[in-house]
Amino acid sequence: MNTYPLRPTFAQIDLGILKGNVVAIRSLVKPAKVLVMLKANAYGHGVEGVAPYIEPFVDQIGVAILDEGIALRKLGISKPILVAGGTLPALVRYYLQYDLTLTVSSYEILEVAEQVASAAGKKIKIHIKIDTGMERSGIRWYESHPFLEKSLECQNLDIEGIYTHFANSETLEDGLVDKKPAFSYASQQLSRFEEALAFYRQTGVPTPRLRHTANSAAILNLPESYYDMVRPGVMFYGVYPDDEVKRPIRIEPAMTWRSSLVYSKRTLAGNPVSYGSLWAPKQDTNIGTIPCGYADGYFRRMSGQPYILVNGKPYPQVGRICMDQCMVDLGQDNAGLGSEVILLGKHPTTGQRITAENLAQWAGTNPYEVMTNVSARVPRVFVNEEADKRL
């Protein structure tokens, strides 16, 4: 597990921290089940290492696209896998072949799933998606009852779940509802979801076994949204989804993006650094070169804004970030070839930290994009520091 790559730049993933985050989430939402989202290469953390380790500690796994679900099965993952994104009729047969849970958002996919399952003499497990205000996918809540009635006619479908997705559950809005903080649009979406669920009460038909609505922000802000299962995404990886969310539990980031200096030189005052000659030192200074650039996901648009930890101390990144390299101004400090670099994460000795939120601010985006854009050519190294301490 601790085999390090030839490349100096790599992302170190602490699996023990991920487990600790799951334990914390479970303690908050119990008795609800926990489905962790491993889409987008486990939010950039490396699904090949994260999935096999975390599988015993979760109830289900979620992905965005069919290919991700198939890849998990080929990794040997046996837990239920919900594919949350949409699909095409011709692809439905793969859900049966790989025992994946199909999200059904339209009459057409419902009918095709029933036909495919009937022809195979097997059942396809489905979750019905209700659109309560995202306007992205799903049956609109005010049109849901005829659809739910139609679903009951499908004898070859195992309707395990029904769910919706929040458009905004991050921000506490002004006002109080029953002396509780009001999240007006998210609360409205919950009410619409209940309108859809009313179909089962009115018909006397049992509700699907798994009702779920809560993403990371809703887990933190809206306990009433837990239902039978929650779907942590970004918080599983140790990042809070927004500055304004409540923080009833502590989570820790699992990724440390590491590198090393591969060159260090004295640059004279007035000599510009990197493409475009955008920056030059006002006095003689030491410039270090780091083998990481925008092809690795260290965004070019951040040029001149970040600080980078070298031997645990923060230094400004200077000049334009290149495809494969970036430069850091070491001032009058000496840091030689091979000096330790942290682009994201906490230095264990000095306590200095660069967060996903920092990178997001410098790049003008959010932490989700920061993590999922750490490119495939950055090796993932999986460690378990808590387990190592016990050895």
Residues belonging to the active site: 39, 275
The encoded tokens of residue 312 equal 């645990």
Query: Do residues 13 and 381 lie in contact, with contact meaning Cβ atoms separated by under 8 Å?
Result: yes
Cβ atoms of 379 and 292 within 8 Å: the answer is no
Neighbours of 143 (CB within 10 A): 11
How far is CA 244 from each of CA 169, 170, 183, 221, 381, rounded to the nearest angstrom? 10, 7, 12, 10, 32
Are the beta carbons of 87 and 102 closer than 8 angstroms?
yes
* Angstrom distances, CA of residue 323 to CA of 105, 301, 328, 361, 371: 41, 12, 15, 20, 18
List, in order, residues 6 or more apart from 332 with CB less than 8 Å away.
Answer: 285, 286
Whether residue 261 contacts residue 289, with contact meaning beta carbons closer than 8 Å, is answered with yes
The C-alpha angle with vertex 305 and arms to 300 and 306, in degrees rounded to 5, equals 90
Q: 328: which strand partners? A: 288, 317
| Token duo for residue 245 | 């969310």
